[in-house]
Amino acid sequence: MVKIGIINAGHANYHSIINAIKFCGYEYILIDKPVKNDISHLILPGVGDFGTVAKKLRKTKLDKYIMNHIDRKRMFLGICVGFQLMFSESEESKNIKGLNIFDGKIEKLDKYIKIVPNIGWHNVSTRNSKIFDKKSKNTFYFAHSFCLADNRQKNYSSSITLNRKKIITSIEKDNIFGVQFHPEKSAKSGIKLLNNFCSYKI
Which positions are annotated as active-site residues? Answer: 80, 182, 184
CA pseudo-torsion sign 139, 73, 104, 80: positive
Q: Which residues contact 40 (CB under 8 A, 6 or more apart)?
A: 1, 2, 3, 4, 74, 75, 201
| Amino acid letter, residue 137 | K
Which stretch of DSSP H or E encloses residue 140? strand 139-144
Report how far apart, in Å, the C-alpha atoms of 60 and of each of 2, 44, 66, 70, 77 are.
25, 14, 11, 18, 19
